[in-house]
Chains A and B, each alone.
Chain A
Amino acid sequence: MMHDGSLAANLDQIFILLRDWVVGFLPAVLRPAADAVLGVIAIICVFPAFFAVVVVLERKGVGRIQNRYGPNRVGPYGLFQPIADAIKALIKEDIVPNRADAVVHFMAPLVLLITVFMSFAVLPVGRNMALVDMDSGLLFFIAMGAATELSVFMAGWSSRNKYSLLGAIRAVAQMISYEVILLLSTVTVVMITGSLSLTRIVEAQNHFTWILPHWFIFTPWGVAAFVMFIIAGMAETNRSPFDVPEGESEIVAGYHTEYSGFKFAIFYIAEYLSMISISALGATLFLGGWSAPLSFLNWVPSWIWFFAKVLIAMFVFIWVRGTVPRIRQDQLMNFAWKFLLPIALIDLVVTALWHFMGEGWMRWMVTAVILVACWALMGRLEMRNRHIGPRKYRYAE
Chain B
Amino acid sequence: MNPVFYILAVLTLAGGLAAILLRSLVHSVLAVTAAFAGLALVFLQLDAQFAGFAQILIYIGAVAILIVFAVLLTRSSELPKSGVFSNTWIVGLVIAAGVFAVLGWAVLESMSAVPQQAAVPAVTVHDIGNALMGRYVLPLEIVALLLTAATIGAVIVAMHEKEGPK
Contact = CB atoms under 8 A, between A and B. Distances in A.
B108 to A, nearest CB: 32
Contact of B61 (A149, A169, A194, A195): A149
A146 B61 contact: yes
Interface residues of A, number: 26
Contacts of A195: 126
Contacts of A196: 125
A13 B15 CA distance: 44
Contact of B49 (A134, A165, A179): A134
A174 to B, nearest CB: 12
A76 B105 CA distance: 73
Nearest to A134: B49
A150 interface: yes
Contacts of A374: none
Interface string A160-184: 0000010001001000100100000
A149 B27 CA distance: 16
B124 interface: yes
A172 B56 contact: no
B156 interface: no
Interface in A222-278: none
A108 to B, nearest CB: 10
B26 interface: yes
Contact of B53 (A143, A153, A165, A172): A143
A8 B79 CA distance: 67
A382 interface: no
Contacts of B56: 143-144, 146-147
Given A136-B50, A196-B125, A146 B26 contact: no
A146 B62 contact: yes
B33 interface: yes
A199 to B, nearest CB: 15
A104 interface: yes
Given A104-B30, A147-B60, A150-B60, A140 B65 contact: no
A144 B61 CA distance: 9
A139 interface: yes
B65 A150 contact: yes
Interface string A68-86: 0000000000000000000
Interface in B92-149: 124-126
B64 interface: yes
Interface string A96-109: 00000100100000
A334 to B, nearest CB: 14
B57 interface: yes
Interface string A293-307: 000000000000000
A142 interface: yes
Given A104-B30, A157-B72, A196-B125, A136 B61 contact: no
B152 to A, nearest CB: 14
B54 interface: yes
A154 interface: yes
A144 B49 CA distance: 14
A135 interface: yes
A134 B53 CA distance: 11
A42 B57 CA distance: 27
A149 B65 CA distance: 8
26 contacts: A101-B24, A101-B27, A104-B30, A134-B49, A136-B50, A136-B125, A139-B49, A139-B53, A139-B57, A139-B125, A143-B53, A143-B56, A143-B57, A144-B56, A146-B61, A147-B56, A150-B60, A150-B64, A153-B68, A157-B26, A169-B72, A172-B68, A176-B62, A194-B126, A195-B126, A196-B125
Ranked nearest first, the 3 interchain pairs of A and B with the lowest CB-CB distance are: A146-B61, A143-B56, A139-B53
